[in-house]
């Protein structure tokens, strides 16, 4: 059942690097992360990779397998032919630290710019009442394990470093949608989604949804509804007239 | 002199799981400058793996619940070895800690009337676990991570800097705790994983929140981070560890395919109706209700099945006995030849509820089995077996403040000991880390504010810490082979798994100690290749030292305790022994070796339970655990003699 698999793994650091070829034992039921670990233990002890839970729950081992953004721990070897060369590279949208480890600080910076949950003023702890059907929408987005694969694949930033300043990416636009749909959040997040986080850059190609290991419908359930809410506020004729008359808005 | 990046904080929290984050929130809310240090990225801590829920007697689903009932369940689950004061604080404060999370933005599953829903779990009398499907730990981590961001946003508004009062140092490993000449904590020394550069935190108070030790066992639900760093660092600083012989083997881990062996299958599967069966299709748990729990569990399948819908008139299914009982039962079934093809037993939810219901209640279990094992849990049973999951033992702390026996060193969550006694109930760890994370944050804040002057770090300690950290790059002189850290780790895991695992004997533990001594002598000769920049071989070489210390503590304590209780089962002493109930085994380090010191174990007495708490139990139940002499103050006992 075991066989010798052919791997090409990117090795290097911020100064550059290249793909290196390896031949590694593969056993039944294994995932790509198992192979990377076997490489560490037998051939390349200093091969850098992030991982934690190895169960698809923490979102640490994000990388690209044959060019596709994936969790290494959830990519089964049985998906590939035994003689296929499997190429493992770091996430492309982020700069390399070493080997498969990238600098994901962009995501933490963007996370910090999303205004936190704003609790309702009059409710004390223990007094929150919400219906299951109302929390369910935001709960879908809170399944996010912050693997940042959606951020990696999103064409707005994948090859456009310059857009990172104005665009928070699917993960954090979804976070804004999550708070906007939270039954008890007291803030209005429609303007900031558009003006500060670059919701307008998204042209709903759904690449983020495709790579999400949690199968969250990021585009359909978070980004499009958020766009509709923004449009409802900005292009509602009554709101538009009000803004004109009282010189509000931009 | 060593080149080192220096930081200065009032409080330093090591570990960014639930306990660490809750402690940091508290310290920052007290106005202190606070650093959180973690080995992984922020938000990846092992707490995300917790699935079933967070136990708190809110009484939202069954209003009969109260802190007293929760307290009693916790003490029973731990076979009365628990630190009763911790169990009391935990039961009393858990509801407030859960409600508080809602004000941070948490979204738990709801009841019909809009309150937080609660689910059944092993050992809990009533539905008690606040949950979000089967990903409750992720919700807790994300909620507290976002609360930290929220506090940083307040600081940005006030001081112009997100990190003015509270900063997360991610991918940073602490290798030494430092003390001043009076013996009080003065700092923490470590390195950035990314660059390998050294970093020093000067601080009066360190809160340990590093989690567990599961990575010392081969089959485990724990991640690479669980190398017992907090346990070992605290011990090397002079703190005592208690209850290290008690290691929880979760009854239901995945057993196949080999690469995922040990990954957790939530107890929520059983809480929601799943049942255990052997290869003959028999629900075997009915044969394994131990004497101490006789009468508390259903005796027929019919009664057990009725209990899900009518808990007031039926007793619960023995599938939901505390984890130690279920793990041992599975172990026996497999050993006696009634296991599944891959060496586990069957966990069946498919035949118990509709497909859609399973997917809704247990989405990540559905996903996990589909993706990793090609098993559709709505159509076929899962194969499961015991996996090392949690250590009940840890740093000995003051229940109210979390302070260890070293001034300025605090601990909370899994790396602290006492709360769970000999066995932890499912759902009690998320509540534990909220209750005692907060208390440790408060304890550290009070301590720091009471200091007359901040303890000073000695340069010689910094130099020594730096030398020790880089020693794996410099091959030892003279004889001895160059050792590979991955090989040693594998041998250590195999030793603990095979010889100090779920069932133990004196003979096997002694063999384990022999092997550990041999591995220890080789740890000195570990050599790593490459340079210090993000070098996993080097990281492991350092973690390995901690794994050695905790493994020795587990094995030595396990050898001394000549009885079976909770997470410690001795085949040569299979019974609970009342004379052991009140005796704790306290581990300290000794000897010349600073890097991997020797561990010594000494018994010590536990403080007797406060009278009003003792009276919460029937005398007839206490008699199963206590010696007669210990119970003379119970009113029922006094009645007997009157």
List, by residue range, all CATH 3.10.20.30 domains of chain A: 3-102
C-alpha–C-alpha distance, residues B128 and B427, integer Å: 8
Closest CA–CA distance from residue A155 to any residue of chain B (Å): 25
Element (H or E) spanning B207, and its range?
A: strand B205-208
What tens digit of pLDDT does each residue of B350-409 get?
999 999 999 988 988 998 899 888 899 999 999 999 999 999 999 999 999 999 999 999
A180 touches chain B (CB under 8 A): no
Closest CA–CA distance from residue A99 to any residue of chain B (Å): 9
- For all residues of chain B together, what is the average pLDDT? 95
Pick B48's closest partner by Cβ from A40, A58, A119.
Answer: A58
Catalytic residue among B72, B270, B570, B634: B270
Q: What is the pLDDT of residue B642?
A: 45
Closest CA–CA distance from residue A237 to any residue of chain B (Å): 34
Lowest mean pLDDT among A6-20, A216-230, B257-271, B444-458: B257-271
Neighboring chain B residues of A59 at a CB cutoff of 8 Å: 44
Which residue in B has a C-alpha nearest to residue A42's C-alpha? B486
Q: What is the pLDDT of residue A95?
A: 96
Q: With bands split at pLDDT 50, 70 and 90, how would you rate the model's confidence at B411?
A: very high
pTM for this entry = 0.94
Q: What is the pLDDT of residue A250?
A: 42
C-alpha–C-alpha distance, residues B359 and B380, integer Å: 14
User: Do the Cβ atoms of B536 and A101 come within 8 Å?
Assistant: no
Closest CA relative to residue A137, chosen from A233, A217, A228:
A217
C-alpha–C-alpha distance, residues B178 and B457, integer Å: 7
Residues ≥6 apart with Cβ < 8 Å to A105: none
Pick B43's closest partner by Cβ from A53, A98, A146.
Answer: A146
Lowest mean pLDDT among A208-217, A228-237, B615-624: A228-237
Distance of CA A42 to the CA centre of its chain: 32
Catalytic residue among B76, B193, B250, B389: B250
User: Do the Cβ atoms of A29 and B260 come within 8 Å?
Assistant: yes
B192 touches chain A (CB under 8 A): no
B293 touches chain A (CB under 8 A): no
Residue B576 reports pLDDT greater than 70: yes
Residues ≥6 apart with Cβ < 8 Å to B422: B78, B79, B81, B243, B246, B324, B392, B565, B566, B567, B568
User: Do the Cβ atoms of A117 and B146 come within 8 Å?
Assistant: yes
What tens digit of pLDDT does each residue of B54-100 get?
999 999 999 999 999 999 999 999 999 999 999 999 999 999 999 99
Residue B499 reports pLDDT greater than 60: yes
B105 touches chain A (CB under 8 A): yes
Mutate to test the interface with A, among B98, B103, B255, B539 (most CBs of A within 10 A): B103
User: Do the Cβ atoms of A29 and B223 come within 8 Å?
Assistant: no
3-state secondary structure of B463: helix
C-alpha–C-alpha distance, residues A19 and A32, integer Å: 16
Write down the architecture of domain B250-388 according to CATH. Answer: Alpha-Beta Complex (3.90)
Residues ≥6 apart with Cβ < 8 Å to B488: B519, B522, B523, B526, B544
Which residue in A has a C-alpha nearest to residue B135's C-alpha? A143
Average pLDDT over every residue of A162-187: 97
A64 touches chain B (CB under 8 A): no
Q: What is the pLDDT of residue A232?
A: 85
User: Do the Cβ atoms of A119 and B103 come within 8 Å?
Assistant: yes
Strand partners, B253: B264, B385
Q: Tokens 């770091």 identify what position? A: A90
- More confident position, A227 or A239: A227
Which residue in B has a C-alpha nearest to residue A39's C-alpha? B486
Helices (H), A57-199: 105-113, 132-142, 149-153, 155-158, 169-181, 190-195
Neighboring chain A residues of B484 at a CB cutoff of 8 Å: 41, 45
Mutate to test the interface with A, among B52, B107, B108 (most CBs of A within 10 A): B107
List, by residue range, all CATH 1.10.1060.10 domains of chain A: 105-240
Q: Is residue B382 a contact partner of residue B359, using CB atoms and an 8 Å limit? A: no
Residue B155 reports pLDDT greater than 80: yes
User: Do the Cβ atoms of A101 and B364 come within 8 Å?
Assistant: no
3-state secondary structure of A111: helix
A205 touches chain B (CB under 8 A): no
User: Do the Cβ atoms of B41 and A50 come within 8 Å?
Assistant: yes
Q: With bands split at pLDDT 50, 70 and 90, how would you rate the model's confidence at B479?
A: low
Q: What is the pLDDT of residue A249?
A: 45
Residue B2 reports pLDDT greater than 90: no
Q: Is residue A97 a contact partner of residue A48, using CB atoms and an 8 Å limit? A: yes
The CATH number for A3-102, chosen from 3.10.180.10, 3.40.50.1820, 3.40.50.300, 3.10.20.30, is 3.10.20.30
User: Do the Cβ atoms of A139 and B107 come within 8 Å?
Assistant: yes
Domain boundaries, chain B: 250-388, 611-641
The pairing of strands B129-130 and B118-119 is antiparallel
Q: Is residue A145 a contact partner of residue A57, using CB atoms and an 8 Å limit? A: yes
Closest CA–CA distance from residue A238 to any residue of chain B (Å): 33
B623 touches chain A (CB under 8 A): no
Q: With bands split at pLDDT 50, 70 and 90, how would you rate the model's confidence at A246?
A: confident
Q: Would you call B250 a catalytic residue per the annotation?
A: yes
Residue B315 reports pLDDT greater than 80: yes
A169 touches chain B (CB under 8 A): no
Q: Is residue B486 a contact partner of residue B208, using CB atoms and an 8 Å limit? A: no
User: Do the Cβ atoms of B537 and A112 come within 8 Å?
Assistant: no
The CATH number for A105-240, chosen from 2.70.70.10, 1.10.1060.10, 3.30.110.40, 3.30.300.30, is 1.10.1060.10
């Amino acid at each position: 059942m075991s066989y010798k698999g052919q791997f090409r793994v990117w090795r290097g650091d911020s100064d550059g690097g290249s793909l290196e070829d390896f031949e590694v034992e593969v056993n039944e039921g294994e995932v790509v992360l198992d192979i990377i670990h076997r490489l560490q233990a037998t051939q390349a002890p200093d091969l850098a990779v992030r991982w934690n839970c190895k169960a698809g729950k923490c979102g640490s081992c994000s990388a690209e397998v044959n060019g596709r953004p994936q969790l290494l721990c959830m990519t089964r070897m049985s998906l590939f032919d035994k003689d296929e060369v499997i190429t493992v590279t770091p996430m492309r949208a982020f700069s390399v630290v070493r080997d498969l480890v990238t600098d994901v600080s962009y995501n933490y910076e963007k996370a910090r710019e999303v205004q936190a949950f704003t609790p309702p003023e009059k409710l004390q702890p223990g007094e929150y009442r919400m219906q299951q059907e109302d929390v369910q929408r935001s709960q879908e987005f809170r399944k996010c394990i912050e693997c940042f694969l959606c951020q990696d694949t999103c064409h707005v930033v994948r090859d456009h470093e310059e857009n990172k300043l104005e665009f928070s990416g699917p993960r954090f636009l979804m976070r804004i949608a999550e708070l906007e749909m939270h039954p008890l959040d007291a803030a209005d997040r429609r303007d900031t989604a558009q003006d500060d986080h670059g919701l307008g850059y998204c042209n709903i190609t759904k690449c983020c949804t495709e790579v999400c290991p949690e199968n969250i419908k990021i585009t359909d359930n978070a980004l499009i509804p958020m766009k509709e809410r923004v449009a409802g506020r900005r292009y509602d004729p009554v709101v538009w007239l009000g803004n004109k008359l009282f010189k509000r808005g931009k | 002199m060593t080149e080192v990046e220096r930081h200065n904080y009032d409080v330093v929290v090591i570990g960014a799981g639930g306990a660490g984050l809750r402690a940091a929130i508290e310290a920052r809310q007290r106005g202190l400058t606070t650093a959180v240090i973690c080995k992984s990225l922020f938000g990846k801590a092992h707490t995300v793996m917790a699935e079933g829920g967070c136990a708190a007697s809110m009484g939202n689903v069954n209003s009969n619940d109260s802190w007293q009932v929760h307290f009693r369940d916790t003490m029973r689950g731990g076979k009365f070895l628990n630190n009763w004061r911790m169990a009391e604080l935990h039961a009393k404060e858990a509801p407030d800690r859960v409600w508080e999370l809602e004000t941070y933005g948490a979204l738990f599953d709801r009841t019909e009337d809009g309150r937080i829903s609660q689910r059944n779990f092993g050992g809990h009398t009533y539905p008690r676990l606040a949950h979000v499907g089967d990903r409750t730990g992720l919700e807790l981590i994300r909620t507290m991570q976002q609360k930290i961001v929220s506090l940083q946003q307040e600081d940005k508004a006030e001081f112009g800097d997100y990190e003015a009062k509270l900063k997360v140092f991610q991918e940073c490993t602490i290798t030494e705790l430092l003390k001043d000449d009076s013996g009080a904590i003065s700092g923490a020394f470590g390195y950035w994983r990314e660059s390998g550069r050294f970093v020093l935190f000067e601080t009066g108070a360190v809160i340990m929140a590093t989690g567990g030790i599961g990575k010392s066992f081969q089959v485990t639900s724990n991640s690479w981070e669980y190398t017992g760093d907090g346990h070992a660092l605290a011990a090397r600083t002079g703190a005592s560890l208690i209850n290290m012989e008690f290691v929880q083997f979760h009854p239901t881990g995945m057993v196949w395919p080999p690469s995922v062996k040990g990954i957790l299958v939530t107890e929520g599967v059983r809480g929601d109706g799943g049942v255990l069966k052997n290869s003959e299709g028999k629900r075997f748990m009915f044969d394994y209700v131990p004497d101490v729990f006789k009468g508390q569990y259903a005796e027929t399948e019919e009664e057990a099945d009725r209990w899900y819908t009518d808990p007031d008139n039926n007793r619960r299914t023995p599938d939901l006995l505390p984890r130690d009982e279920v793990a041992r039962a599975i172990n026996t079934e497999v050993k006696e030849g009634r296991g599944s093809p891959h060496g586990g037993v069957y966990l069946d939810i498919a035949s118990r509820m509709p497909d859609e219901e399973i997917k809704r209640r247990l989405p990540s279990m559905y996903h996990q089995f589909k993706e990793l094992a090609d098993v559709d849990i709505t159509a076929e049973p899962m194969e499961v077996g015991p996996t090392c999951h949690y250590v009940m033992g840890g740093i000995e702390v003051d229940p109210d403040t979390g302070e260890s026996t070293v001034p300025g060193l605090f601990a909370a969550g899994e790396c602290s000991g006492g709360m769970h006694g000999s066995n932890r109930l499912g759902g009690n760890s998320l509540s534990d880390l909220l209750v005692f994370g907060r208390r440790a944050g408060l304890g550290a804040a009070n301590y720091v504010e009471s200091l007359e002057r901040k303890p000073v770090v000695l340069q010689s300690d910094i130099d020594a810490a730096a030398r020790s950290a880089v020693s794996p790059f410099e091959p030892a002189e003279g004889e001895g082979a160059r050792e590979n850290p991955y090989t040693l780790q594998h041998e250590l895991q195999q030793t603990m798994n095979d010889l100090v695992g779920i069932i133990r004997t004196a003979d096997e533990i002694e063999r384990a100690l022999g092997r550990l001594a041999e591995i220890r002598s080789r740890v000195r000769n570990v050599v790593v290749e490459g340079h210090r920049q993000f070098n996993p071989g080097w990281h492991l070489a350092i973690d390995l030292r901690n794994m050695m210390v905790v493994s020795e503590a587990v094995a030595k304590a396990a050898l001394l305790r000549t009885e079976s209780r909770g997470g410690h089962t001795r085949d040569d002493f299979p019974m609970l022994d009342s004379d052991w109930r009140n005796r704790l085994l306290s581990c300290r380090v000794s000897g010349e070796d600073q890097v991997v010191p020797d561990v010594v174990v000494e018994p010590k007495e536990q403080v007797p339970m406060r009278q009003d708490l003792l009276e919460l139990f029937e005398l007839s139940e206490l008699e199963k655990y206590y010696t007669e002499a210990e119970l003379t103050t119970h009113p029922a006992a006094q009645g007997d003699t009157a």
